[in-house]
Structure 1
């Protein structure tokens, strides 16, 4: 093992000239934001915007929190919480060291330390990237799931919570008791109306605790909805080796990202906020239209590409979209089925579609179809099924959407087209696999059983004859002919 030096405040000055580094002294910043869910996406997105902000306003450093594991803290603590983002495109990589993370808490190890940080009067924003499943909600309704085992555990011990709703509610309760104004809650996850949804989930959790905390959360706490966009693949060992070699010092956990970034934020910060607009974020009164556009066009296409791509033998999005039939399918999905459901006057949806397709083609991003395929039972309602409902209401066709849904069903059976096992990562993975084993390769039985999962499809879609027919037909084609042949046929058939 070579004794290469680690990235840290002391090795910053020795980095190559081309590496961009913080334009401020990270030791002189103060923490103004607590961020729950400090993973790759947060470090390539919000942390980069705040790194720009800290150059002129030092009071907005971030204290991150991992809600499950200690690995991120353990990797970054010896580096003074510095890390590198490699922005990769066809032209190569731009390396940038980020200094906006001040600390990383590990909630299960020391919930008290995290709650104390959340109660610091200097903290005026608590932001979140905890993925859809971290909200402990029912994705079909958007309500808190009171039977979720982690919520049941928090309600039994509300002073030492482990979930995001539990932590936020307890921190707000303590601040109120100490006469400290509440922070603004800023979710940055792909939930429909994420500000409103998070407000509802935290209020419902507070109501279950009892007392008048729920009324306080409902009436006195601001929730700022956002739309975030940046493609951030999981960091590979190869990425770490390549970035370490370019730096000349070791970075234990860098992040890889596309250059494109977007952040649309509802301006609801009664106790103050950084100047987000000065660093390229867009401040709006209502984020819902942007959010729906992104969920349905980018995320819906991504999920469709992930399931069909994986089944067709493509490991990355760039490989899948390079197949002309897959590109034609996704272009048709956006143009014919998604864009008509979006009311976005003044927004160039066709231009947005072209930008998305060129981002999917970025050869430098090894964004694995398997990674995007995770947690589909949580993602499908937002990414595909809302669009399906709008198409049904309009009496319009939805063949490509139905194929995306059928591809998810085929994927979660847990066996690929060569008969090899698929490592399905999903909160419902065991249930999904059991259904697949029970129904076998009979498309009628398989589709009916998966459509019966109310958490995903609700009662309306399960019982909708035309939706059931379309999904069953698409699933039959996938089981008989495979993904590549089915995509080719769907992409080129007249709709």
Structure 2
């Protein structure tokens, strides 16, 4: 190409000689999947699997309609409209190789905050067989300790009073399912693809809690007819950087305003339980199993928790990325010690998986120098992540008289991180958390009440009542406040 070309459907004919483009006719696709939460992960994972399947199969019924519910989705919406819902997927290998291709499985994008009617019509349409979700851990609106639905959420209160004016995912799902129920249509499957243990069960329990407040008959129908398969998803997907956009422009002369970068590794394990048909994702590498739970737990307690271990400790040490942490022998040894002695002993049997090999692969993936996954992304929304990734390991280890030293170090470091917001060099740490104010205030009270931070029961449950944990946490916290060089504390633990 002699001149730069904007990525859109019309310009694919100019792009095809330089970078792979969709091999299927996007014009004939139907929206069989409505996906809520079109972020980087979905585009690197479920949309990629769907793209591969569409290239392999002649089926025309599994196109994706993306949905954004929040005002924060407006920028993505505008880009997708300009690009005819196309984007570039850039797979970054450890050796520096970058494989790029244009993904075409997303064929529409609707914005709920601007046009809820259009979103509901698509969800209620007979062509829609699946509504899938990547709404982050915090999007499920439940108390992480009690697992109860949060009815105090102002948007939930609005939806209960105004059932035809949805704001949250629950309002949209309920209204769309009500339309299908009244029209005597088969329901769609609700498929969570978020990093929550038993994510399908959580989605089911939370939705039913909500619906029962609106319509018991509808709740009964959902309970008997709607499937909520559990799934385990995995692919490290950093935030897109300006350098990624510049790379495509320089290398291929393509202007893509919002490409996605990811690692080569990809995994999807899905419970084979669907209400109204499903894509044959097994043809493109996904694994359908009767029970996903052991795989979910393995991934959450090793990969996701491992990320948090490196993220919080590394942020205070002054590191910026996960691979930077992995280049430090002390941090590498810390991660492996955590995985081997604290997380692995409380895992369930995972049939067909060699755990040592899996942990070796995590070390390799975390070390990928071309991914450069930022610690600010890893540490974001820790108040939603740690109750699912790390704190259950502490609780189960305490019950089994197991090791908790490194996990406790992370919790103590999180208190310092929330209190001071600086690394050991005095540089500010970017703290991004919906509960950042509450975390900061609780951490500040540590001066007068050493247990103030862990007395946040919505996050930690009753850990503050466990004598063994409290003793270790208190001494660890004191040492961190005295010396912020995390490597010193890790080294002492590893001796």
- Taking structure 1 as the reference length, the TM-score comes to 0.95
Of 104-113 and 420-429, deviating more is 420-429
1:24-103 alignment to 2 at 5 Å? 24-55=24-55, 56=57, 57-68=59-70, 69-91=73-95, 92-103=97-108
1-side partners of 2:493 and 2:443: how far apart? Answer: 27
2-side partners of 1:285 and 1:54: how far apart? Answer: 25
1-side partners of 2:265 and 2:489: how far apart? Answer: 28
Distance apart, 1:23 and its partner CA: 1.6
Gaps (5+ residues) in structure 2? Answer: none
Distance apart, 1:330 and its partner CA: 0.3
Moved over 6 A (4+): none
1:192-341 alignment to 2 at 5 Å? 192-341=197-346
- Does residue 134 of structure 1 match 2:139? yes
Structure 2 match to 1:434: 441
Of 400-409 and 301-310, deviating more is 400-409
2-side partners of 1:380 and 1:101: how far apart? Answer: 32
Native 8 Å contact 2:7 2:255 kept in 1? yes
Of 285-294 and 337-346, deviating more is 337-346
Distance apart, 1:404 and its partner CA: 1.6
CA gap 1:364/1:235 in 2 versus in 1, 3 angstroms:
same
SS in 2 for 1:274: coil
Distance apart, 1:420 and its partner CA: 4.3
2-side partners of 1:149 and 1:32: how far apart? Answer: 32
Distance apart, 1:401 and its partner CA: 1.1
Native 8 Å contact 2:193 2:232 kept in 1? yes
1-side partners of 2:16 and 2:26: how far apart? Answer: 19
Native 8 Å contact 2:5 2:254 kept in 1? yes
Which of 407, 413, 423 is the matching residue for 1:401?
A: 407
Deviations 1:250-294 (A, max 9, x none): 001000000100000111113101101001000011111000000
2-side partners of 1:325 and 1:357: how far apart? Answer: 13
Q: How many aligned residue pairs are there?
A: 487
Structure 2 match to 1:155: 160
Of 398-407 and 34-43, deviating more is 398-407
Deviations 1:137-158 (A, max 9, x none): 1122332111122222222222
Native 8 Å contact 2:200 2:231 kept in 1? yes
Structure 2 match to 1:468: 470
Distance apart, 1:376 and its partner CA: 0.7
Which of 358, 366, 375 is the matching residue for 2:364?
A: 358
Of 14-23 and 303-312, deviating more is 14-23
Gaps (5+ residues) in structure 1? Answer: none
- Does residue 5 of structure 1 match 2:5? yes
1-side partners of 2:471 and 2:178: how far apart? Answer: 50
Deviations 1:341-364 (A, max 9, x none): 112253211110000000000000
Native 8 Å contact 1:86 1:257 kept in 2? yes
SS in 2 for 1:228: strand
- Taking structure 2 as the reference length, the TM-score comes to 0.95
- Does residue 445 of structure 1 match 2:449? yes
CA gap 1:173/1:53 in 2 versus in 1, 3 angstroms:
same
Structure 1 match to 2:181: 176
RMSD of aligned residue pairs (Cα, Å):
1.7
Which of 403, 408, 415 is the matching residue for 2:421?
A: 415
